[in-house]
């Protein structure tokens, strides 16, 4: 039997109930499968309520960057959701991946930086990387792995999630210390788990079908249920300020509707002096004479920019006219992360 590993103390750890798992007996007796150069990630669909039933397994929703770790002999590649090579930006994870002692593997996970409570902090990860387009690396980042797609010549994507995760847990169990960790399954009813996650100030939970193979894209096999909604929006302009942090009074945001961008309101909180100043510097390089979309009001003093920057925004909901409620700025998404702009129905 292989005992479950314990997470670093913190809100995520408070949700985990220890249990034991056993690697599935037998296995596929196949010739070696070719190792994919890249696998499009399985993505979670947003849902307002946690699903019910034993067929669903629950994990913490990590708040960081989705990464695939490719190990081939003595070579490691760390690939972003958008297919960019970020190996150099996560040197500790790359080093520890070689310590797993495998000939070949592809691990799916999320790189995070933990705050003082032990919760994942997207802003701290962005700061470690130097912000959007930054060149720094995040040596203190941890990778919470939640799936194993390929191992020592075998493509595991056709196996059920439960089998893949049992094999992953055994693999990560060989290195109890280091930056690569196993994202624990949490044994609880979905609605109670979500309430507890929200009480602890976490972003939410992920639900996955135990019997599902690994399918790229949004198939509905994985669901995300959030305490506070967080989505990506294009920045189309801003209101400068002489008193606000970083000189930004308000960002003007847009979502996707069909082939067009539509205005969804603004955000004026969540900035620090440093993050606001850095963002304004980037926006001022993209100034244009007129907005890139139809605006209901053209207030004097707004500065319009090309919609090339994508901001991650926390929000409490939507108004009846499709505007953001109680929005707060979290940071800029990386182009390499390929986080899609929120699409209105």
Residues in the chain with pLDDT values less than 50: 1-9, 16-30
d(CA 120, CA 175): 21
Cβ burial of 72 (10 Å; 0-12, 13-18, 19+) is middle
Instruction: Collapse the DSSP code of 76 into the 3-class scheme (helix H, G, I; strand E, B; otherwise coil) and give the result.
Output: strand
Closest CA to 89 of 148, 150, 49, 130: 130
Closest CA to 190 of 208, 215, 214, 207: 207
Q: In this predicted structure, what is the pLDDT of residue 298?
A: 64
CB 79 within 8 A of CB 68: yes
Do 8-16+41-226 and 229-337 come out as alike in CATH topology? no
Cα 101 to Cα 7, 22, 39, 105, 169, distances in angstroms: 22, 20, 22, 10, 14
Domain 8-16+41-226 grouped into CATH 3.30.470.30: yes
d(CA 290, CA 217): 36
Cα 138 to Cα 87, 105, 125, 209, distances in angstroms: 11, 22, 7, 32
61 is known as an active-site residue: yes
Cβ burial of 173 (10 Å; 0-12, 13-18, 19+) is middle
CB 216 within 8 A of CB 207: no
Q: In this predicted structure, what is the pLDDT of residue 338?
A: 57
What number of residues does the chain have?
345
Q: Quick one: which H or E segment has residue 34?
A: none
Can you name the residues that pair with 67 across neighbouring β-strands?
80, 109
Q: In this predicted structure, what is the pLDDT of residue 299?
A: 67
Instruction: Collapse the DSSP code of 123 into the 3-class scheme (helix H, G, I; strand E, B; otherwise coil) and give the result.
Output: helix
CATH for 229-337 is: 2.40.50.140
* Token couple for 67: 């990464």
CB 312 within 8 A of CB 324: no
Cα 240 to Cα 273, 310, 329, distances in angstroms: 14, 18, 16
Q: Is the pTM of this model over 0.75?
A: no
- Which residue matches tokens 């292989």? 2
3-state SS string for 139-205: CCCEEEEEEEEEECCEECCCCCHHHHHHHHHHHHHCCCCCCEEECCCCCCCHHHHHHHHHHCCCCEE
DSSP string, 193-256: HHHHHHHTT--EEEEEETT----SB--SSEEEEESSEEEEEEEEEEEE-SSSGGGEEEEEEEEE
Spans of all domains in the chain? 8-16+41-226, 229-337
Can you name the residues that pair with 117 across neighbouring β-strands?
none
> Which residue out of 61, 208, 226, 330 is catalytically annotated?
61
Q: In this predicted structure, what is the pLDDT of residue 134?
A: 67
Strands 222-226 and 45-46 come out as parallel
d(CA 10, CA 5): 14
């Amino acid at each position: 039997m292989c005992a479950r590993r314990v997470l670093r103390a913190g809100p995520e750890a408070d949700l985990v109930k220890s249990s034991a798992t056993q690697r599935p007996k037998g296995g596929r007796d196949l010739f070696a499968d070719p190792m994919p150069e890249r696998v499009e990630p399985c993505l979670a669909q947003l849902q307002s309520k946690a699903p019910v039933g034993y067929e669903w397994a629950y994990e913490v929703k990590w708040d960081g960057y989705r990464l695939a770790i490719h190990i081939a002999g003595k070579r490691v590649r760390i690939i972003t959701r958008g297919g960019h090579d970020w190996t150099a930006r996560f040197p500790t994870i790359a080093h520890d991946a070689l310590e797993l002692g495998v000939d070949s593997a592809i691990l799916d996970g999320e790189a995070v930086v933990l705050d003082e409570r032990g919760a994942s902090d997207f802003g701290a990860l962005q700061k470690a990387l130097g912000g959007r387009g930054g060149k720094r690396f995040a040596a203190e980042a941890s990778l919470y792995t939640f799936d194993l797609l390929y191992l020592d010549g075998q493509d595991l994507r056709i196996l059920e999630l439960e089998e893949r995760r049992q094999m992953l847990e055994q693999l990560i169990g060989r290195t109890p210390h280091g930056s690569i960790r196993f994202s624990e399954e949490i044994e609880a009813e979905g609605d109670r788990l979500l309430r507890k996650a929200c009480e602890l100030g976490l972003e939410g939970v992920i639900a996955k079908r135990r019997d599902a193979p690994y399918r790229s894209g949004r198939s509905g096999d994985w669901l995300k249920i959030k305490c506070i909604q967080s989505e990506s929006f294009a920045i189309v302009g801003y209101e400068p300020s002489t008193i606000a942090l970083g000189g930004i009074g308000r960002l003007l945001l847009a979502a996707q509707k069909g082939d067009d961008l539509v205005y969804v309101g603004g955000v004026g909180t969540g900035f620090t002096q440093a993050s606001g100043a850095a963002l304004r510097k980037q926006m001022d390089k993209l100034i244009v004479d007129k907005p890139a979309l139809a605006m209901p009001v053209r207030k004097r003093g707004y500065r319009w920019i090309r919609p090339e920057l994508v901001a991650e925004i926390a929000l409490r909901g939507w108004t009846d006219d499709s505007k953001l409620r109680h929005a707060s700025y979290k940071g800029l998404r990386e182009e390499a992360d390929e986080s899609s702009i929120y699409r209105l129905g």
